[in-house]
Amino acid sequence: MTSSSREPVVGTPSPVRHLITLIADALSLPGPSPDPEQERAYLRLVSRRAALALTAARTALSTDGDAGAIRAARDLFGAVADEPATGYQPATVPGNRRSS
């Protein structure tokens, strides 16, 4: 299991598998609280992160071999770090001990 992924990664680690894991993690965000402003903030963040994931996929596909995937993974990791999931209030989950 990777440090950030919730699902175990099966198979031999490779740059492409690492990139796919980063893309999945970038797009896996908890849903927003039902407030319309929170939903808008959530959708803006998901849209920005989806654009980053698409750019990473295009970068990886533009180069033969692992070099494109390595570059795309590095760039995506940094770009997602610049788009933290702190701009909206996630919906509360029953049993979650987080305070609102």
CA distance 10 to 15: 14
Read off the pLDDT of residues 3-30 as tens digits, 9 standing for 90 and up: 455 566 677 789 999 999 999 999 999 9
Angstrom distance (rounded) from CA 4 to CA 8: 10
Q: What percent of the chain has pLDDT over 90?
A: 75
Q: Among residues 55, 89, 93, which one has the least CA distance to residue 74? A: 55
Q: Roughly what angle, to the nearest 10 degrees, separates helices 15-27 and 67-81?
A: 30
- The rounded distance, in Å, linking the Cα atoms of 8 and 11 is 10
| pLDDT class of 46 with cuts at 50, 70, 90 | very high
Alpha-carbon distance of 95 to 55, in angstroms, equals: 37
Q: Which amino acid is at 23?
A: I
Whether 97 shows a pLDDT value over 50: the answer reads no
